[in-house]
């Protein structure tokens, strides 16, 4: 019989204490960002606020940058939790396509709300390595589950679910990065400035919605004997 190693009471308490301390560090970093801005987030400042030495915090985070990464992705106010709430708000019978669209809109909304932190993190603070975004944080695991569902039920093309998830993520992420970088002005013409910030935002919302639909058009499975995608538009059978 396989022997299952279970943590002792002392080990469980230590692990719970580590989780609580990690959350306390993230919460203090969030408070500093809200009150004083990103530049105020330092290992020394967080340690002082929590009543610890800076060296003690290095047992949980090895740099300011990893704290900011956790602040953006993890915790109850992080991107991962935001994406889970986005999914929870959808109907139980939502299609994989609609779920992907909702997650895309949720990702963009969160990024626009935390624009400064987004630009900092994706400007080089986070090192995702060669494997893409972290699958266990930031909502990417949620996206993967939807992709797997869509491939399994035939909604998406018969390709690896990883390809579906990465295609959706990179398409949305690319749009958001251009938007936050000021490269999508939201005017009626690429060379024309918008009439007002409000109209610019509305225009970008419309463009993003069309972008999501185009992404999904490339992911959904085609019916072998169904009508051509342009049949409805031109009346061709």
Query: Tens digits of per-residue pLDDT, 13-26?
Result: 778 888 899 989 99
What is the Cα–Cα distance from 58 to 178, expressed in whole angstroms?
34
Average pLDDT of 41-46?
A: 92
- Domain ranges across the chain: 1-62, 64-234
Show the beta-strand stretches assigned E in the chain.
none
Return the ∠ at Cα 94 (arms to 88 and 95), rounded to 5°: 130
Q: What is the mean pLDDT of the chain?
A: 83
The pLDDT tens digits of the residues spanning 51-64 come to 999 999 999 998 88
Domains 1-62 and 64-234 share a fold: no
Q: How far is residue 77's CA from residue 166's CA, in Å, rounded to a whole number?
A: 24
Question: Domain 64-234 in CATH: superfamily?
Answer: Tetracycline Repressor, domain 2 (1.10.357.10)
Please report the pLDDT score of residue 225 as a whole number. Answer: 39
CA torsion sign for 79, 84, 88, 94 is positive
- Chain center to CA of 220: 22
117-163: pLDDT as tens digits: 898 888 866 665 444 455 555 688 999 999 999 999 999 999 999 99
Length of the chain: 237
Domain 1-62: state its class.
Answer: mainly alpha
Nearest 10 degrees: Cα torsion 36, 81, 95, 92: -130
Residue 237 scores a pLDDT above 70: no
Count CA atoms within 13 Å of residue 130 on its CB side.
0
């Amino acid at each position: 019989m396989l022997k299952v190693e279970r943590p002792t009471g002392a080990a469980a308490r230590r692990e719970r204490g580590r989780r609580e301390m990690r959350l306390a560090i993230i919460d203090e970093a969030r408070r500093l960002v809200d009150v004083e801005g990103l530049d105020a987030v330092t290992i020394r400042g967080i340690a002082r606020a929590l009543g610890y030495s800076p060296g003690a915090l290095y047992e949980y985070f090895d740099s300011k940058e990893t704290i900011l990464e956790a602040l953006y992705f993890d915790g109850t106010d992080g991107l991962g939790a935001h994406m889970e709430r986005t999914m929870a708000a959808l109907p139980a019978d939502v299609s994989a396509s609609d779920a992907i669209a909702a997650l895309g809109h949720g990702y963009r909304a969160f990024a626009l709300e935390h624009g400064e932190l987004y630009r900092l993190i994706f400007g080089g603070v986070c090192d995702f390595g060669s494997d893409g975004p972290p699958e266990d944080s930031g909502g990417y695991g949620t996206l993967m589950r939807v992709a797997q569902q869509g491939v399994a039920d035939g909604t998406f093309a018969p390709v690896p679910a990883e390809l579906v998830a990465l295609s959706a993520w990179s398409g949305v992420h690319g749009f958001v990065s251009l938007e936050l970088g000021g490269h999508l002005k939201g005017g009626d013409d690429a060379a024309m400035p918008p009439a007002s910030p409000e109209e610019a935002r509305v225009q970008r919302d419309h463009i993003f919605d069309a972008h999501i639909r185009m992404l999904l058009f490339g992911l959904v499975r085609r019916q072998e004997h169904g009508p051509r995608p342009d049949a409805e538009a031109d009346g061709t059978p």
